[in-house]
Amino acid sequence: MIGAFYGSIILAVKFMIFKNLESNMLYYTLLSVAIIPIIETTVHLKKPQVAYFSCAVFLSIATNHILDEQPFIYVLNRVIDTLVGIVILIQLRFQLRSKKIYYLFQALIIHY
């Protein structure tokens, strides 16, 4: 989500400021500098293990989808997919906490 957030900001800056820029060197310099706050944000949130994934999502959004007609649709779809995955994970963990399913799951883990 962090990478998608920063990626959408960079896309907005690209479309507002760098829209008619012939050389992309300034834009790619901005991308390079923008990785720093992504890493800092993950460290500040005490989740440094997600820094790699956040940077990968950011670079995916900011470089691969820059030529799309509606790159913000991709960002929105990515955020919705992530939120759906989180809801499914929470529901699954809640279901596994019931005693019967939990003990069945533990028995499967022990035997394998």
Tokens of 67: 């030529």
Q: What percent of the chain has pLDDT over 70?
A: 77
Report the b/e string of 25-46 with b at 16+ CB within 10 A.
eebeebbeebbeebeebbeeee
Query: C-alpha distances in angstroms, 84 versus 48, 71, 87?
Result: 23, 20, 5
Tokens 């959408």 belong to which residue?
A: 8
pTM summary value: 0.60
Q: What is the pLDDT of residue 102?
A: 67
Cβ contacts of residue 72 below 8 Å, gap of 6+? 8, 11
List, for residues 50-102, the tens digit of each pLDDT value.
888 888 888 887 877 666 677 778 778 878 888 898 888 888 777 777 666 66
Which residues span the domain enclosing 78? 2-111
Chain mean position to CA 42: 11
| pLDDT value for 3 | 78
Domain count, the chain: 1
